[in-house]
Structure 1
Amino acid sequence: MGWSVPPSLMPMAAWQAAQLGLTGNADPAWAIIDLVNCEFNQGRVRIRLPQGLSSDDSLAFMHAMQGFFLEDGIALYPVSPGRFLAHSSIFAGLPCVTTERACLQDMHALHDVAELSTQTPAQRLLRRLQNEMQMLFYTHALNADRAQTINSFWVSGCGELPTHTRTNVQLHMPLREAYLQHDTTAWAATWSTLAQQLLAPALQQGERVVLCGVDRCLTLQASATPWWQRLWQSLRSVHWVERLS
């Protein structure tokens, strides 16, 4: 992306809003709102994304939430099942933990009373909204047939979009979704598709491919010389006596 910002202020919401043409309002503050299942247990909260949520059900959840959000000056826009963009000045400079990180590791209790004194007005407002959504969804008809209920939302991606931002970036969400759902079969199948449709063509064109994880990365680059020629050259460059000694 070409951004020099801390991880807690990655402007993914503003970037996605720009990609979708949702930049009519002069206020640049955006957030990503993900529907989630929160399970509280002994001072920790486990976050899970909803499985099998249809577009129609996602819109129904958004419409149920919208009145509460509008009362606080927050406009919601649908992006994909279970994910919305939110627009309001309260998101300006709001540090966040990504949904991915929240799903992959249990978070410390978000409702810890000791933290209330240090919260900003924006954080207190969002916490109140989370509590209201938990009460709203607890007996909501939309959860009646769901094995894993939706009982809250997660906020992320609230950074301000830098002036100089790459516009040719593509996000491949199926890989993310399979990873967060711990679906190894779907994850492997998605990687296979990406390798055929994206990685292999890029390498064939001489481009460098960098695969990044949380704490490591791997750089791939095609060589103009076939592997068997490189092997033969390496064998010729060393005397067999040295090779066998």
Structure 2
Amino acid sequence: MPHITLVLPHLLPLPEFAPDLIRALQAPALASLLTRTSAHQRSAAADTARALPHEQWLARTLGLAQDGRPAFAAAAMRGFGLDPAGGTWFIVNPAHIQIARSHSMMADLRHLGLSEDESRALYEAARPLCEDVGHALLYGDAQTWFLRADDWTGIDTATPDAVAGMDLSDFVPRGKEALPLRRLQNEMQMLWHTHPVNAAREGRRLPVVNSFWLWGAAADAPRLPGQLSSIGVPGWIRGLSSRALGSLDELDGALAQDGTLVVGYLAEAAIAADWGTWVQQVQQLEEQLFAPLHAALVQGRIRKLRLVLSSREALAEFTTTAMAQRTFWRRPTLERLT
């Protein structure tokens, strides 16, 4: 019987909203999984300025942290069939930067809705510019490219989800190599400003791609431990995954052996503080994920289930077994989400 770890970013609501959100949820299977446990712990994230708690957890668990920072680029490249070739690579995400009166802000990358054709066209325009200044640029998917910059290893960067919706002045890349990065960003902005892709997107009232975000530097790609499956996640997590699910209807296959499943459905609503949509999505997960997991656990098809839940500020882990689920005197409740 397999041991399963389920990672659910943003299932922990922020404290100021938690009581109302929990009252709005009808999730008995999730309540049982959280209440009838053999172990649980919760901790405040040490530093969410550069990476969110679940991103830090993935970096630690997969052995992809360097100098305390998530170093996902080289391993994600391998997932896209690309060879890091011993260099230092960064993840590059095409982005939309919003300029306000007092600050600038990067929109959640999920809002771009960038198609493969659009991304390929922007990539092909950007690649010669990068190569002219000595940096190879490789294509992963519409939202995930990779830049080689062996001499930029000291740049202090943040993950896109840590930055989305925040004042960008707090996340300006730091380090002695940051100047050539900013120069490349400025040149890319000018290149894309008049690009036909952006002209067409403006005509459809879609956000233009007017910059890129660089992060996740890694110089090597160690063999990743265990089986990692994912669904509803950014491209870099799909790149780390040995299996990407098309829908939760494929859940049985992901539960057939020991492994970790990352479910990213809640991120967009939580980052936008769209709590009505968040409640609806948790209800869908109750039906399509938590109830089947609870049934599999009670029926003995899963030996042990570990839930790794996060918010922007905290991380919580819950471990349960079929034996723990038999502790009928523990009334199921969602209070542990607070």
Structure 2: which 5+ residue stretches go unaligned? 1-57, 234-263, 332-338
**CA distance in structure 2 between the aligned counterparts of 1:4 and 1:198, rounded to whole angstroms:** 28
Structure 1 residues 141-150 or 127-136, which shifts more? 141-150
* 2:156 corresponds to which of 95, 100, 123: 95
In the alignment, does 2:310 pair up with 1:212? Answer: yes
Identity of aligned residues (%): 24
C-alpha distance in 1 between matches for 2:212 and 2:285: 30
Name whichever of 88-97 and 132-141 sits farther off: 88-97
Q: Distance in 1 between matches of 2:152 and 2:330?
A: 56
How many angstroms does 1:5 deviate by? Answer: 3.7
Instruction: Give RMSD over aligned pairs.
Output: 3.4
> What residue number does 2:98 align with?
39
TM-score, length-normalised on structure 2?
A: 0.56
Which of 153, 169, 186 matches 2:212?
153
Shift in alpha-carbon separation, 1:33–1:181, aligned structure 2, 3 A: farther
The size of the alignment, in residue pairs, is 225
3-state DSSP of counterpart to 1:70 = helix
CA distance change for structure 1 residues 188 and 97 in 2, over 3 Å: closer, same or farther?
Answer: same
> What is the distance in 1 between the residues matched to 2:286 and 2:152?
37
Report what 1:229 is aligned to: 328
Aligned residue in 2 for 1:11: 71
Shift in CA distance, 144/170, structure 1 to aligned 2, threshold 3 Å: same
Q: 163, 168, 175: which one pairs with 1:107? A: 168
1:125-180 per-residue CA deviation (whole Å, 9 max, x = no partner) reads 11111101111122221111322111111101114457574253334315345555
Residue 242 (structure 1) aligns with: none
Cα displacement (A) at 1:19 = 2.6
Whether the 8 Å contact between 1:138 and 1:151 is mirrored in structure 2 is yes
- Structure 1 distance, partners of 2:77, 2:85, is 11
Tell me what 1:86 maps to.
147
Higher Cα Rg, which structure: 1
Structure 1: segments with no counterpart, 5+ residues: 233-245
1:39–1:45 CA contact under 8 A, matched in 2: yes
The residue type paired with residue 86 of structure 2 is: A
1:20 is matched with 80
Q: Is the aligned partner of 1:54 residue 2:115?
A: yes
Residues 230 and 93 of structure 1, relative CA distance in 2, 3 Å threshold: same
Q: Greater helix share, 1 or 2? A: 1
Higher relative contact order structure (alpha carbons within 8 Å, sequence separation ≥ 6) = 2
Q: 1:73 aligns with which of 131, 134, 140?
A: 134
Q: Does 1:131 align with 2:229?
A: no
> Cα distance 1:25–1:101, how it changes in 2: closer, same or farther (>3 A)?
same
For 1:18, give the aligned amino acid. Answer: R
Distance in structure 1 (CA, Å) of the matches to 2:82 and 2:226: 15
**Contact 2:160 2:213 (C-alpha < 8 Å) held by counterparts:** yes
**Maintained 8 Å contact 2:86/2:220:** no
Asked whether the equivalents of residues 93 and 158 of structure 1 are also in contact (C-alpha less than 8 Å), the reply is no
Whole-angstrom CA distance in 1 between matches of 2:287 and 2:95: 32
The answer (yes or no) to whether the contact 2:155–2:175 under 8 Å persists in 1 is no
* Secondary structure of 1:104's aligned partner: coil
